[in-house]
Chain A
């Protein structure tokens, strides 16, 4: 009996890329909860332009997984109405660059429904959307709009950086009774991109984050993870940049502590504070444009809370304040060179 049990536990964890992990999270939740409903452009019969919803319509039927008209206002507005009825909708916006038509529904409605109705109505929706650059997506397939949503009270913003986290966080997001924006870094759907675009691509098969339980589990929202413990400085990052930072600090031989935020709102301030107070230095890295980006909020929080522990100015390494370019992608992307220079700068007075 013991051997059978052991075998069951072992087969329970399988290798997945991030798409498979997201697909698995949706599958697990649809099986557990008959109110979970998946909707969006091309998500039904076709299974999604990134295959995240492949097979779900065949398994759960057209009334639970369905294609929608091409109208982001409608997708989010309808999802809010379904949530008010009592369903748990998981709408997909094909690219985060196309979420703007739905801004009014997200900001004015989903985010405020609980507050304005004193809890009579809620919007337990999870909006999935691929985001981020590094794929030659040009201006409208590369954006990182998280800062727009972290500015909105009433919405949670979640960004995974591994298949394991993607599945566990997505399950937690779907179960959460507040609206969650779940941004998927599409650059690392297939592998943990290290920022060296001219080197061979990696896949998730050897990365520890690619080992994913096939059943139900949660990664709690609002909890960051120290993905690389270190003493020299703290790097705050999320999504693709977690992997880029890791590769850069290891190559540079700097003993950085990398904190993968995972949830931007609500933020795990304790983990951030503990890390910066230990290291005395803080670097913030995101793909999104600099001015008014989420890095500004992080920088302000660290400055307010860790001021007397700081031994150097907080560094922000970000995308430039321009639209995301096509051919100049690797000049724009906050890659190894930009991060490396910031590292040198923040460490120079050690």
Chain B
């Protein structure tokens, strides 16, 4: 049979399954990662047609050079005050993450996810957006809340599912919701927020509003169908939205190759949709700020959406339930060629004479105290595992605006079970 086949002389097909460069135990050398010089990417006018972003989708917008200087057309020329505020927020975020990670290890809560190494992505974006722009984050943009001044105690209350938790203990830790801070309710289902952000932006445009939307997903999540739908809608209706892809190289244990990174960049996806695409050094707070500001201006002037790929590295495990040493080399985080976003911004401020090591150390201490005090305050409202902190029957609240009969019956059943069990679940 095979010999009768006209293609019998061809070698058999082979299936390509991507493999990351380094596995546990491998020495790490990121020389193959292309890092264009800071200042080398051009900065087009915000009204530039979407078809002219090919080159920007394959390079990296970088502002901070190796000497800590801000260079090139993307330098947002921020005041030293603004730079110090951004640095402080990033330090706060890192300290908060550290503390909550430890709280999980101490059994005070069930779960946590850090943003170590990705602090610039959310913090700098928050500073570049207007306060009333609506953010549709994934679970790793807690920096948006911190930069917008959301009380750390409220975040911790949510993490502890305690009596102060505004979400009533119904949500997994870190799935915050803060409407008044322009922070949309986080879902566990990946990338669902993408079309929602586009819809919010379309509504704003349809109403003749001036507010814009911004959304974030990881590079792994770009493989979801929602990403494609959102990009299509955003382009078709020129929605005033900033679509951020945080390419931190890892989706739990899968390296970015499983989302398609071996063949192209994530910013390049924008080109095919007819969306302006920028690829940015995600560990460079000034570059993130500049790109976000640029995209916000483009959106606000009815020029349509922008997709920004933030090229960064997930320095920590995926979550408190993850052990990255099982799938990647322990040497990766430190070898990452784009460095540490906090250190780079700090070095810049020092290089321009607006900061010094002593002030930085003092700030670290001050922030650590602030986070510790917030934690103490939050723990007064209880921690997970010390009994329920919410009224037992609140379990049924908010399924619908008004409770239908079947939920009322089930609520009664639950209250009867509690009585019958002799275990007062509702109380500590």
A-side interface residues toward B, CB under 8 Å?
Answer: 37, 63-64, 68-69, 71, 73-74, 76-87, 89, 101, 104-105, 108-109, 112-122, 153-154, 156, 176-178, 222, 265-267, 269
Contact = CB atoms under 8 A, between A and B. Distances in A.
Given A74-B232, A266-B405, A109 B203 contact: no
B400 A73 contact: no
A37 B185 CA distance: 23
A122 B203 CA distance: 15
Contacts of B204: 85
A292 B65 CA distance: 62
Contacts of B134: 84-85
A53 B228 CA distance: 27
Given A86-B203, A117-B167, A78 B187 contact: no
B329 interface: no
B230 A120 contact: no
21 contacts: A37-B206, A63-B206, A71-B229, A77-B192, A77-B226, A80-B195, A81-B136, A81-B197, A81-B202, A83-B199, A84-B184, A85-B200, A89-B199, A109-B189, A112-B187, A113-B185, A114-B398, A116-B171, A117-B185, A121-B184, A178-B400
Mostly helix, strand, loop or mixed at chain A's interface? mixed
B252 interface: no
Contact of B404 (A74, A78, A101, A222): A222
Interface in B269-298: none
B376 to A, nearest CB: 25
Given A63-B206, A69-B229, 12 more contacts: A80-B196, A81-B136, A81-B203, A82-B203, A85-B134, A101-B225, A117-B167, A117-B179, A119-B398, A121-B177, A156-B400, A222-B404
A84 B196 contact: yes
Contacts of B201: 81
Interface of B: 134, 136, 166-168, 170-171, 175, 177-179, 184-185, 187-189, 192, 194-207, 213, 225-226, 228-230, 232-233, 236, 398-401, 404-406
Candidate in B168, B198, B199, B230 with the most chain A CB atoms within 10 angstroms: B199
A280 B196 CA distance: 49
B405 A82 contact: no
Given A64-B206, A68-B233, A78 B196 contact: yes
Contact of A73 (B200, B203, B226, B236): B226
Contacts of A81: 136, 195-203, 213
Given A109-B196, A116-B167, A178-B400, A267 B406 contact: yes
Contacts of A109: 187, 189, 192, 196
A80 B166 CA distance: 22
A118 B189 CA distance: 18
A120 B225 contact: no
A113 B200 CA distance: 15
Contact of B200 (A64, A82, A105, A176): A82
A118 B166 contact: yes
Q: Which 10 A-B pairs have the closest CB atoms?
A: A81-B199, A77-B195, A74-B229, A78-B199, A266-B404, A81-B196, A85-B203, A117-B185, A117-B177, A81-B200
Contacts of A266: 400, 404-406
A330 B346 CA distance: 75
Contacts of A265: 404
A59 to B, nearest CB: 16
A154 B404 CA distance: 11
